[in-house]
Structure 1
Amino acid sequence: MSAPHGPAWEFLLLFVVVIGGPLLLERARVPGIIGLLLGGYAIGPNGFGWISQASDTLPDLGQLGLLYLMFVAGVELDLALLRTYRRSAVSFGLLTFAVPMVAGTAVGFTLGWSAPAAFLLGSLLASHTLIVYPLIRGGGLGTDPAVATAVGATVLTDTLALIVLAVVSGTTGSHASTWEVLVRLVAGFAVLAGFCFYTLPRAARWCFRRLGGERTVRYLVAIAGFLAAAVLAEVFGIEGIVGAFFAGLALNRLAPNEGRLMDRIDFFGAAVFIPVFLVSVGLILDPRVIAQPRTLGLAALFVVACMGGKVLAAWLAHALLRFTRPQAGVMFALTAPQAAATLASTTIGYQIGLFGTSVVNAVLVLILVSLVVSPIAGRRFMRTVPRPSPTDRPLGSRVVVAVSTVDPPAEVFRLAARIAAPDGGVVHPVLLRRESDPAHDAAAVTALESLANANGVDGAAAVVVDRSLAAGIAHAAAAHLATLVVAAGPMWSERAGVAPPAPVLEYRGEDGALLHAAASPDQVAEISRRAATPIDA
C-alpha cells in the first residue's frame, strides 16, 4: 500500500474543498469565496501538504478557471443599462477607476516599488466585481439609475484595469524597446477587438443557427470563442484574460441573463471552473506570511487606498452627478468588492515577478475585507433608496412567442429576437393548445425548440392549455412576467373577457403586424422601430 497520490487524489481533494469550504464559512456568515481560498491553503504545500509544490494539475486547471472567470465577468454585464445610462456610467466609471488607481500607484511608489509594479497595484485596486449586485437587484433596485450607473461603469473600470495589466505584463521582462512593445500591443488590441466584436459574434450566431438545436453546442461554441480570443491575445503578448473578457462582452447579447445558455455558463462556472481557480489561489496562501508585520502593513495600505478611493469616487458621484447620499452609498457597495479582476491581476503580477508572496497575501486580506464590508454597506444604504416602479421594465426584457402549431413562420421568432436584443432580453416560445385540442407530445415541443434555436431564440419552450388561445396568451404572459407577446397569427380574436398583462403583437406575415392591448405611444414607436415591419396599433 502507498499514500494517495496522482490526479485522482488531487481532484478528490479539490471537490471536497469546493463542496465543503463555502458551506462551512457561510454558516459563520463569511462569504463562500473565503472558504475556497482557505480550503486551497489547507490542502496545499503551506497547509497539510497533500498537494505538493511541484504539482501542475490544479494550477493548470486554475488558469483555465481564471480565463472562465473573466469570460463570465464580461458576458454577465448588463450592456442595456450601460447604453441607457452611458453618460453617468462613463463619468462614474472614470471616477471609480481613477481615484483608487492614483491612490494605489502612490502607495506603490511610496514603498519604493518599480513603476510597472506600482501601476499594476493601482489598476488592481481600481477594478471591482459586482458580487453585491444580486443582493441589490433582489431588493428591487435593479433599474435604479444609480445602480444602473455602477453596473455600466464596471465595463469601463475592468477594461481599463485589464489594459494596464496588458501594458505592464507586455513591457516587463521584454528585451524589445518600449516603443516596439507599445506598437505590438496597439496592433494586438486592434486585431483582438476586430475578432471579438466583429468576427466572433457572427461566427457564434451562425453556429447557433446551424447547430444550435443540440443543448451542448451553444455552450461549447461559447467556450471555444473565449479560448480563441485568449489564444489570439497571447499571440500579441497580451494576457489571455483580456481576450476572455472581451469575448464575454462580444457574446453578451447572444447569452441573455435568463436564457438557457447563460444557465449553463453559470452552472459550470459556479460548479467547477471558478472554484478551481480560487482553490488554486489558496495554494499560495500562507498564514505565516500574513501574520508578518510587513504583510499586515501592506494590507492596511491597500485597504485604505482601495476602500478610501471607492468612497471618494461615490461621494464625487453624489456631488457631481446629483445622486442622493443613499444612492451614492449603494454605488460604493457595488464597486468596493475586490475579486475577479483583482485576483487575476495579482496572480499574473506574482507569476511575472512583480509581486512577492507578502503582496499576494496582503491582497487576499483586502479581498476578505471588501467582501465583508460591501454587503453590510449594501444592506444599510438600500433601505433608504426608493424602489423604482415595477412597470419600468424594458420593452424587450421578457418576450413570449405564442404559437398554435409546431411549424409557425420562422420570421415570428426573428421578429421577437429583434425586439428583445437591444435590452438583452430573453424570448420564451410557448405552444398554445385549447382544452378541446388533441394532446401534444414531447416531439412537438422539441421541434418547436429546434425551430426557435435556428432563428436566434435561446429560451426553453413551454406548453399552455386553456379554454381559448387568447386566454392561453394571457396566462403565458402572466407566468413568464412578459413585457411583450408576439403571436403567430390572429390568436387574439378570441379575447372576449380576457385582459392581457402585456401588449400583444400579432404577426400577419408579409402584411405586417397588429398591436393589441395597452401600449403607450413611446412603446408603439419603439416596437415599430425594432420590428422593422409595418405595425398597426
Structure 2
Amino acid sequence: MVHMERLLHLFAAAPAAESITKEPIVPFLILLLVILFVPLLFERFLKVPGLVGLLAAGVVLGPQGLRVLERGAPPMDLLPEIGLVYLMFVAGLEIDMEQFRQTRNRSLTFGSFTFLVPLIMGTVVGLIFFPGKWNTSILIGSLFASHTLLAYPIVSRLGVVKNEAVTVTIGATIFTDIGALLVLAICVAIHQGDFSATRLATLIGSLVIYSVVVLFGFDRAGKEFFKRSGDDQGNQFLFVLLAVFLAAVGAQLIGVEKIVGAFLAGLAVNDAVGEGPVKEKVLFVGSVLFIPIFFVSLGLLIDIPAFIASINSITLTLAIVTGLIVSKFLAAYFAKLIYRYKWNEMLTMWSLSVPQVGATLAATLVGYEAGLLTKEVLNSVIVLLLVTATLGPLVTSRVAPTLIDASQELEPEPVSPYWSTGETATHPFGVLVPVYNPKTEQYLIEMAALLARQAQGRILPLAIAKATAHMDAPQLEAAFKRGDTLLENATNLSRELGVEAEPLLRIDDAIAQGISRAAKEQHASLIVMGWGQRTGLRARLFGNVIDSVLWAAHCPVAVSRLLKSPKEFRQILVPVENITPQAVSVLRFVSLLAAANGAHIVLLHICDRNTTPGRVAWIRSQLSLLVDKLALPDHPEIRIKPHPNVTQAILEVAKDCDLVVIRSTRRRTSAGGLTIADTTTQLIGAIACSLIMLGEPQPASFSASSEQQAVRG
C-alpha cells in the first residue's frame, strides 16, 4: 500500500513539473542566470565583450537552439521592449550637457558632417543592394548616421575630456542620434502606407511640439520635483522611470517610435538628475537587467544559416562596414579642415564616432520588425556592431594619449596644502572620523592623528544615533550609550597620540547624511572612514554609506582598509596615470601622510610597451616637475613601468609596499548599457596590503543639480 502511494505521488508530480516549465518565471530565471554568468565568462576567458556573450546566449537558447526562450512569449514579450526603451534613455542620459553647451556651435557643425556624410554613404549602399527602394536605403543611411560614445571612459581616464575635439564629438552625439531617430520615424511612417505631404507636415509639426514639451517640460518638472523631494531617492528614481515611459507612450501617440521619446526623455532629465546617486541607480537597473535582456532577445532573431550565408556572400556586410568607417573618417576630416584640428585630434574624433551600438541597434530592430530591413541587413549590422565596438576604443586608446601635450604642462610654483583652499582655508585643519566598528577604530584614529598632528589641526570623532519617532525610545538610548563608549575610546586614543579631539554625538535620520552634514557644520578638511564592502542586490540598488558620503561630502573622503598601524607605513605606492587636478590632490594627501611618519613615496606610471622613449622622457619630466612643486622632505621615487596590464603591474609593485593610495572614480556605463569594469575595482579586490581610496568632492559644474538633491552636503 505504501509503495502504491509513492507511485501515485510520482505520477501526480510529473504533470506538475511539466506545468512549471510553462510558467513565465522559468524563462525569467534562465535570463537571470545568463546575465549573471555569460558576460563574465566571455570577458574573462574569451577576452571578448560581454555583449557578444549575451547575443550568443540568445542564439543558443532561442528558436535556432534549445528553444527555451521565444520572442512574444512571457516574459520575452515585455522585458525586451523595456530594455529597448531603457537603452535609448541611457544614451540620452549619458550625454554631458555641460560640455555640449561649451561647444554648441562646433558640435552642430561636426554633428552635421558626421550625420549627413554617413547618411548619404549609407543611402548609396542601400540603393546598390536594393535598387529603387529609397525608403529602405535612406533608413540604412540613418543607421550609419548615429554613433555611440563607447570609448568615453578611455578619454575620461586619460584626462583629455576638456580637449575641444573630444567635447565637440560628445556634443555632436545629440544631433546625430536625434537626426537618425527622426529619419527612422519618417521612414516607418511612410512604409505603413497612406502617406502624403500633408501627413508628413503633420508628423513633423507634431514631432516639433512633442520635442519641445518633453525637453523643456520634463526638464522643468524634474528640477522642481527633485527640489521638493529632498533626500527621497526612491521617489526620485520612480519619477525618472515615469518620465521615460511617459515620453515613450507620448511618442507612440503621435505616430513616432517609442525609442525617440526615450532618448528625448534622457536629454530632458539630464540636468535634474545630475551626477548624483539617483543617476547611478537608474543606470545600474538598466545595465544589470533590462538592457542585457534586450541583447539576449536580439540574439533570438539571429538565424544561424542566414547569418552564415550573409557572411559567405560578404558583399553587403563588407559594404556596410566599410561605408560606415570611411564616411565617419570623411566627416572628421572635414571638421579638421574647417577648424584646423591636428591629426591626432581628428583621429580621436573619428574613433569616438565610429562605434555603433545604442541607437543603431535599436533603429535596426525597429526597421526589421516593421518589414523595412531584411534579415541580411540585420545580420550585417550585428557584424558592424562587433567590428566598430572593437575598432573605435582600440584607436582611441592609441591616439587619445597624444592629446596630452605641452599645453597641459605644470608650472613650477609653490603648492599650498589641499585642505587650505575654498571654505576650509579660514578654519583650522580638521579630520572627521565616523566611529562605528571598535575593531577598525584604532587604526582610523591613528591615521587621523598623524594627519592632524602634521597639519597642526584637530580630530573630530563622530558617532551617529539614528533618529526614532520618540526621543525617549529605548533604541535611541542604547545608541547613545554605544556612541558615548566609542567616542570615549577615540578621545583617549587621540590624547595618547598628542592630538586634540572634539567628540561629536548627533541624531540623524540617516548615517551617510549625518556624516556629510557634520563635516560641513564643523568645517572638516577631510573625512576618514573605514572600509565597508558593498554586498548584495540591496546595496547595489540603494547604495551603502560610503557611496552616499562620497557623493555628498564637501571635502575629500579617505576610505581606508588598514591592515596594520599607519605608524608602521614606510613605503607608500601612488599609481598615477595622468597629471590631472585629481591626481595632484591625491599626491597632496599622500605627501601629508608621508611627512607625518617619514614614509617613502613611490610614484608609479604604467605605460604601453610600444610607448616611444621620447614619450617616456616627457612623462618622467612632468612627474619630476610635480614632485618639485610638492617640495617633500623625502624626494619620491618615480617609476615608469611598461606593461600590457595596468592592474597586474600595480599589483607587482605593491608587493614591496605597506600602503597603496588610489583615486576613487565612479563607474560609468557604456551607451550599450553594460557596465564597464575599471582598474580601481579590480585593484580593490586584489591588493594584499593596506589601501586608501581617496574620493574628491563633486565638481562645481554639478552644483546646480546638487542644490536640487539634498543628499549633497
SS in 1 for 2:70: coil
Q: Which residue of 1 aligns with 2:555?
A: 477
Shift of 1:8: 1.3
C-alpha offsets along residues 374-403 of structure 1, whole Å, 9 cap, x if unaligned?
121111112322167499xxxxxxx9999x
For 1:166-185, list aligned pairs within 5 A.
166-175=185-194, 177-185=195-203
Tell me which moved more, 196-205 or 38-47: 196-205
Identity of aligned residues (%): 32
Answer yes or no: is 1:144 the counterpart of 2:183: no
Distance in 2 of aligned mates of 1:216 and 1:44: 36
Answer yes or no: is 1:276 the counterpart of 2:293: yes
One of 244, 248, 269 as aligned partner of 2:262: 244
One of 508, 519, 523 as aligned partner of 1:464: 519
Instruction: Tell me which amino acid in the other structure corresponds to 1:436.
Output: E
Instruction: Tell me which amino acid in the other structure corresponds to 2:82.
Output: L
CA contact (8 A) 1:295 1:358 kept: no
Tell me which moved more, 219-228 or 293-302: 293-302
Answer yes or no: is 1:234 the counterpart of 2:312: no
Q: Which residue of 1 aligns with 2:138?
A: 119
Distance in 1 of aligned mates of 2:527 and 2:386: 49
Answer yes or no: is 1:311 the counterpart of 2:329: yes
SS in 2 for 1:220: helix
Q: Which residue of 1 aligns with 2:399?
A: 381
C-alpha offsets along residues 427-475 of structure 1, whole Å, 9 cap, x if unaligned?
xxxx9989425322342767x68xxxxxxxxxx9464399x63646999
**Alpha-carbon spacing, 1:244–1:142, altered in 2? closer, same or farther (3 Å):** same
Q: Which residue of 2 aligns with 1:501?
A: none
Shift of 1:75: 1.2
Instruction: Tell me which amino acid in the other structure corresponds to 2:287.
Output: A
Distance in 1 of aligned mates of 2:313 and 2:50: 23
Distance in 2 of aligned mates of 1:39 and 1:287: 13
**Alpha-carbon spacing, 1:15–1:472, altered in 2? closer, same or farther (3 Å):** closer
SS in 2 for 1:441: strand
Instruction: Tell me which amino acid in the other structure corresponds to 1:13.
Output: I
Instruction: Tell me which amino acid in the other structure corresponds to 2:251.
Output: A
**Alpha-carbon spacing, 1:309–1:442, altered in 2? closer, same or farther (3 Å):** same
Distance in 2 of aligned mates of 1:438 and 1:358: 68
SS in 1 for 2:519: strand
Q: TM-score, normalised by structure 1?
A: 0.75
Answer yes or no: is 1:369 the counterpart of 2:447: no
SS in 2 for 1:141: coil
SS in 2 for 1:269: helix
Instruction: Tell me which amino acid in the other structure corresponds to 2:66.
Output: F
Answer yes or no: is 1:338 the counterpart of 2:338: no
Answer yes or no: is 1:285 the counterpart of 2:290: no
**Alpha-carbon spacing, 1:278–1:52, altered in 2? closer, same or farther (3 Å):** closer
Answer yes or no: is 1:14 the counterpart of 2:31: yes
Answer yes or no: is 1:267 the counterpart of 2:284: yes
SS in 2 for 1:289: helix
Distance in 1 of aligned mates of 2:77 and 2:423: 46
For 1:43-442, list aligned pairs within 5 A.
43-52=61-70, 55-113=73-131, 114-175=133-194, 177-257=195-275, 259-293=276-310, 296-386=314-404, 389=408, 435-436=501-502, 438-442=504-508
**Alpha-carbon spacing, 1:219–1:130, altered in 2? closer, same or farther (3 Å):** same
**Alpha-carbon spacing, 1:443–1:435, altered in 2? closer, same or farther (3 Å):** farther
* Bigger RCO of structures 1 and 2 (CA < 8 A, at least 6 apart): 1
Distance in 1 of aligned mates of 2:165 and 2:402: 13
Instruction: Tell me which amino acid in the other structure corresponds to 1:230.
Output: A
Q: Which residue of 1 aligns with 2:51?
A: 33
Structure 2 residues without counterparts, runs of 5 or longer: 1-13, 411-420, 428-459, 463-499, 529-552, 559-580, 583-699, 708-713
* Structure number, greater radius of gyration: 2
**Alpha-carbon spacing, 1:51–1:432, altered in 2? closer, same or farther (3 Å):** same
SS in 2 for 1:440: strand
Structure 1 residues without counterparts, runs of 5 or longer: 392-398, 405-430, 450-459, 483-523, 532-537
CA RMSD of aligned residues (A): 3.1
SS in 2 for 1:439: strand
Shift of 1:308: 1.1
CA contact (8 A) 1:445 1:462 kept: no
Instruction: Tell me which amino acid in the other structure corresponds to 1:138.
Output: R
SS in 2 for 1:464: helix
C-alpha offsets along residues 179-212 of structure 1, whole Å, 9 cap, x if unaligned?
2321231232133123212321222233323334
CA contact (8 A) 1:289 1:295 kept: no
CA contact (8 A) 2:93 2:269 kept: yes
Instruction: Tell me which amino acid in the other structure corresponds to 1:289.
Output: A
CA contact (8 A) 1:432 1:472 kept: no
Distance in 1 of aligned mates of 2:504 and 2:527: 18
SS in 1 for 2:390: helix
**Alpha-carbon spacing, 1:401–1:365, altered in 2? closer, same or farther (3 Å):** farther
Distance in 2 of aligned mates of 1:194 and 1:329: 35
Shift of 1:137: 1.0
SS in 2 for 1:130: coil
